[in-house]
Amino acid sequence: MFENPQWKAENPDRWESYHRKSSHSIHMAFSAIASGVTIQSRYSIKPFDWPSETPTEDESFPTIISELRKQFNYLRSYPPKKRIADLLKELSWGTIDSISEGLTEGTLRNVFLYLDGNAAASVLENQLADEIGSGLSTQTTWYQGYLRVRLQQLINNFHVARRWHADKISMEDLWKAAQKEPHNGSFVSMEDEEIFSQDSTWEVATAVRPRNARLGASD
């Protein structure tokens, strides 16, 4: 995830409030899909350094995305590297001289996240299920290489689609599904029944799974 430094600099308290609430939402999402401790311990959203020449103004959103895409492609051009904890051990042992650039083993290589003030506002201010937005105030009329994703789906439907079904479900397919979502066009599911569900409580909206099947979820 690339996090726009502008909104943190403008309001540090709001930045901290967002991260507290988003962490709680992610925790609720893991509970709702009945994932075990092992799965949770292996999941993380990796922060990437903000490229020094990339603008931070919201009105430059297409330019920002273009520059972030270049940086992400640069990072994934390197072979996958070991997890940071292992690299730090090797660094302390003198086995390696420095930590190389690139994506850590296990990191998704076909998508990156972008967090800015508008996306954070959709979590802090929305009274329905939270989502992490694209930073746009309006929906686009055609696929432009990005989409909004409901925050909880970063560990459920969206994550599953990008990790295990990217060969069958494209980003454009996910964008088309997101355009059906009636609140602000955030990706929730590929299934209309889940997209148009009126139940926006944390338990149901987080996992988008039938209550009677929730405890039996195995993925």
Q: Residue 219 has what pLDDT? A: 37
Separation of alpha carbons 195 and 178, rounded Å: 8
pLDDT in tens, 145-166: 999 998 889 988 999 999 999 9
Is the pLDDT at 169 greater than 50, yes or no?
yes
Q: Where does residue 101 rank: exposed (0-12), middle (13-18), buried (19+ CB within 10 A)?
A: exposed
Could you tell me the pLDDT band of residue 193, with boundaries at 50, 70 and 90? Answer: confident
Is the pLDDT at 137 greater than 90, yes or no?
no
Q: Is 80 helix (H, G, I), strand (E, B) or coil?
A: coil
